[in-house]
Amino acid sequence: MGLQIKEILKVAENILRDAGDEDCKRDAEILLCHAMHYDARRIFMNWSREINDSYCEGFFELVQKRAGGTPTQYLTNGQDFMGHSFFVDERTLIPRMDTETVAEAIIEWLRARGTARRVLELCTGSGVVAISLAKEIADLKVTASDVDPGALEVAAINASNLGVAKRVKFVKSDIYAAFKTGFGGARFDVIAANPPYISSDALMTLQREIIEHEPLHALDGGADGLDFHRRIISGAPPRLRKNGALFLEIGYDQADRVRALIDETERFGEVSVRKDLAGNDRVLSAELK
């Protein structure tokens, strides 16, 4: 006699709780949905259904991997962002909800101006920001770059899956290396980035799941966490159109330092700060003078 769904979930929840998983109940439900190819509604409609041995075995393999520290998103190859489901694996960081604040800020700016239609996103990773912008604004053309070929492969999968592959161009580039200035160089209405911004010394203080599974090079912002911000800010003015805007994700305690970097260029107007849902400073933006 097999276990019922409600019973198997309880067993899995206890395993994950004992392993230190703070979201043990939710993770158990997500993994069972994935293992059985069910959505959450179907799981709860079949609460007392018995699970056959093959599904049970596959589910507990996932549970053991999660208990061992593998993030749920890598086990299911999925993460929601801005209302869309994105493919993820260990070639890219797992998209965080905080980064939705960046996408929302850019969408608001673009809609308010109406005629702005070209965006460059640096450090695109899995492509969630670039693709979300293209999904929200039908005639937007987005160029998204990353230095990591594996990340670009993941981003291209997402663009194809979400139907925007024709409007999002992916380019392998170390920040601006592939983007010329002057005659023949393209200019953009928006330059945006969620660059690495964790200081090198702080990397090993992050959660075990991050250290052991996520690509740390996509988090390492150098000695003070701002190496990439410096390069992005200094190279932005000649690549922006008149009155174009720069949008940068930042760490919760970096607003003043990044604002100072922007002000040092003397090329931008007033710097705006946007907070995330937790009330932390998350996005800095400024328009080119």
Q: State the average pLDDT over residues 261-266.
A: 97
For residues 279 and 6, the model is more confident at 279
Three-state DSSP at 168 gives strand
Residue 1 has pLDDT above 50, yes or no: no
Position 116 scores a pLDDT of: 75
The pTM (predicted TM-score) of the whole model is 0.94
Residue 10 has pLDDT above 80, yes or no: yes
Evaluated on CA atoms 230, 287, 152, 67, the torsion sign reads positive
Residue 33 has pLDDT above 80, yes or no: yes
Q: Which residues contact 161 (CB under 8 A, 6 or more apart)?
A: 86, 87
Q: What percent of the chain has pLDDT above 90? A: 86
For residue 217, give the DSSP letter: G
CATH number 3.40.50.150 given to 90-287: yes
Residue pLDDT, tens place only, 15-25: 999 999 999 99
Three-state DSSP at 48 gives coil
Residue 278 has pLDDT above 90, yes or no: yes
